Amino acid sequence: SAAEAGLYTASDQVVLLTPENVESVLINSTAAIFAEFYASWCGHCIAFSPVYKSLARDITEWKPAVDLAAIDCAEDENRKVCTAFGIRAYPTIKFFHAYSKPESRGQAFKATTHDVRVLRQRIVDKLENHEEPWPPACPPLEPTSQTEIDSFFENNNVQYLALIFEDTKSYIGREVTLDLLQFETVAVRRVLSTESALVTKLGVTEFPSCYLYSPQGNFTRLEVNIEARTFYSYALQRLPGVTRSGKPPPVTADVLANNTQEPWKPFNQYKVYMADLESTLHFSLRVELAAHTVIKGEALSSLNDYISVLVKYFPGRPVVMNLLKSLNARLQNQTGDEISYEAIGEILDNSAQSADTALPEGVRWVGCQGSQPHLRRYPCGMWILFHVLTVQAKNSGGTDPKEVLSAMRKYVHSFFGCTLCAEHFETMAGESLSGVNTFSSAVLWLWSRHNRVNNRLAGALSEDPNFPKIQWPSPETCPACHSVKDNGEHRWSQEKVLPFLMSHFSSSNILPDYLE
Ligand code: FAD
């Protein structure tokens, strides 16, 4: 389809415009929209597309107030749309304010920079100067005053007011306000350093800094590792009682414990559990593969590679490794170009009769338990399994840095039951897997792509309220992994992330049982 031929796909946080949806997206929308009109053959457009994509990931929480869209004018079927909007040069970005009229052709928006931070600030400017009607989801962005604060809790039903004290030129207050717009029971306002009464009253000396004001009248400093946007937003989104709009609050510990269907097993989030890895293998080999009566061609090659990396790198118990080895031997001795699932099932079952060769039947989730039966579990286990394998491959001194990731890509493509997940993953792999040339970059590639998926799924239906999707590891879990550039933008310290991953997914961090 046209969407797939263009520079953006459904995996990006960008609305793909088509002749069918262009009206409904741009006209009379409750959110302000930036629309990029591009041509997929144009060099500037190609160079700009990664910038636009990372901008979209950066402001994904702002969606109800402002969203990004794109359309490929090089596609025959889109040409009429591009002509109607008067597009003559690519790329052209147009701003459509909320509730734009049907005759609106948008306002020109100059994107002469590739600096995501600058583009994001221009978007804040556009929102702050938005004409009436204001996008309903967009919170007030102008600085607050002592007077507003004095009566704040009379007019706003929230548990916290976060005040970001900052200089006039700083955008942090407005950015954090927008980062929190999908969260309930907390409001954010910026206070200018020139608001001297308040600054003096609270003794604020650092700009930026963030204070929490409660209905009881208390002011407390928000503790963060670094006084910067990402750290404020992360901390505020996780305050006790703060929940994402439309999501139920997290289930409390005693409700989880009394869930009789499957008793809740307390676990340590800093550990990896063998029970999750074995449950993943059980589900993958006995349930997911079983959906294929005959496995041949590409799927057979995917299965061979999958079992082969498991035999090489899975840090399993001897009984499980013996089973994987028998399976591998059976596949290696395969003469024809297909194998029936029955033959595989026989190995899985026969082995149950032998004491030293077995894969436990059934699932026993621990670190991948969900607060409800349809949440987490198998896909969670799949991610952990593959992180463990990339880490083990780096430790075992293999020869091909892409071996594990290629096997994962093929498994997901051939067998992973979540078809949409498989498509998204294939898109990511197609974009950048070829750049992985060392074992370290393989470990980091999977980590950063998993974070992209987390970014896309934050707030989605599949998100467990007890385990919100975050950019992982969090500033609490790995403080050294997070830093900021000179301009205050968040930066991952990959030189710290790598050892963190190597240790988290190492065999010595895998607990044999959940009781420990
Ligand atoms: P998961 O995201 O499954 O993570 C499991 C555990 O890994 C976390 O609890 C944490 O301890 C750790 N972790 C988290 N982030 C990272 C990281 N960046 N690096 C290393 N470890 C990390 N669901 C969809 O709805 N749409 C999709 O397109 C989609 N694509 C998927 C593609 C693949 C290949 C897989 C395996 C799953 C996909 N899923 C998709 C499922 C989704 O990503 C989650 O697995 C699922 O929603 C369960 O989430 P979770 O909270 O258990 O955490």
Over residues 1-25, the pLDDT tens digits come to 444 569 999 999 999 999 999 999 9
Number of CB atoms found within 10 A of residue 282's CB: 21
166-179 confidence digits (pLDDT tens): 999 999 999 999 99
For helices 378-395 and 494-504, the axis angle rounded to 10 degrees is 100
Whole-number pLDDT of residue 3: 44
User: Do residues 97 and 105 lie in contact, with contact meaning Cβ atoms separated by under 8 Å?
Assistant: no
Coil, helix or strand for 269?
coil
- Which atom of ligand 1 has the smallest separation from the CA of 420? 28
Q: List residues bridging with 464 in a β-sheet.
A: 467
Cα separation, 139 vs 137, whole angstroms: 6
Q: What are phi and psi of 337, to 5 degrees?
A: -105, 20
Per-residue DSSP letter, 283: I
Mean pLDDT, the chain, integer: 94
From 11, 288, 374, 383, mutation site for ligand 1 pocket: most ligand atoms within 8 A of C-beta: 383
pLDDT digit string (tens) for 335-374? 889 999 999 999 998 766 678 889 999 999 999 999 998 9
Q: Note the pLDDT of residue 1.
A: 44
Question: Among 136-150, 245-259, 451-465, 493-507, whose mean pLDDT is lowest?
Answer: 245-259
pLDDT at 257: 80
| Distance from C-alpha of 451 to C-alpha of 387, rounded to nearest angstrom | 12
Q: Whole-prediction pTM value?
A: 0.96
The residue-averaged pLDDT of 415-427 equals 95
Q: What pLDDT score was predicted for residue 391?
A: 98
Tell me the average pLDDT across 317-340.
94
Percent of the chain predicted with pLDDT > 70: 98
| CA 415 to ligand 1 centroid distance, Å | 17
Ligand 1 centroid to residue 380 C-alpha, Å? 5
Beta strands 209-213 and 219-221 are antiparallel
Q: Pocket of ligand 1, candidates 271, 380, 477: which has the most ligand atoms within 8 Å of its Cβ, to mutate?
A: 380
Which tens digits make up the pLDDT trace of 215-262? 999 999 999 999 999 999 999 999 999 999 988 888 888 888 877 677
* Mean pLDDT (whole number) for 150-154: 95
Q: pLDDT at position 69, please?
A: 98
Query: What pLDDT was estimated at residue 4?
Result: 52
- Round to whole Å and give the CA distance between 423 and 427: 6
Provide CB contacts within 8 A for 19, sequence distance 6+. 77, 78, 80, 81
pLDDT digits (tens, 9 = 90+) for 449-485: 999 999 999 999 999 999 999 999 999 999 999 999 9
pLDDT at 2: 41
Residue whose entry in the numeric block shows the structure tokens 């074992």: 439
Q: Where are the beta strands (DSSP E) in 167-229?
A: 183-184, 186-192, 209-213, 219-221
User: Which residues fall within 8 angstroms of residue 399, CB to CB, at 6 or more apart?
Assistant: none
Separation of CA 408 and ligand 1 centre (Å): 14
**List 45, 73, 210, 478, catalytic entry:** 45
418 noted as active-site residue: no
* Packed helices 494-504 and 439-457: angle between N→C axes, nearest 10 degrees: 90
Q: Is 266 exposed, middle or buried (0-12, 13-18, 19+ CB in 10 A)?
A: exposed
- Give the distance (Å) from ligand 1 centre to CA of residue 481: 20
**Residue 260: what pLDDT?**
64
DSSP 373-413: TTSSSHHHHHHHHHHHHHHHHHHTT-S-TTHHHHHHHHHHH
- Min mean pLDDT across 53-62, 126-135, 247-256, 416-425 is at 247-256
- Ligand 1: which residue has its CA nearest to atom 7? 384
Residue 502 has pLDDT above 50, yes or no: yes
Mean pLDDT of 28-55: 97
- Quick check: 187 pLDDT over 90? yes
- The closest residue, in CA terms, to atom 43 on ligand 1 is 453
More confident residue, 514 or 135: 135
Question: Quick one: what percent of the chain has pLDDT higher than 90?
Answer: 90
What confidence score (pLDDT) does residue 195 get? 95
Residue ranges around ligand 1 (CB below 6 Å): 368, 376, 379-380, 382-384, 387, 412, 418, 420-421, 424-425, 447, 450-451, 453-454, 457, 460, 462, 464, 467, 472
The verdict on whether 42 is a catalytic residue reads yes
Q: In the structure encoding, which two tokens stand for residue 498, read together?
A: 């790598």
> Average pLDDT in the 407-428 region?
96
Ligand 1 nearest atom to the CA of residue 468, by list position: 51
Q: How far is the CA of 264 from the centre of ligand 1 (A)?
A: 21
Nearest CA to ligand 1 atom 41: 379
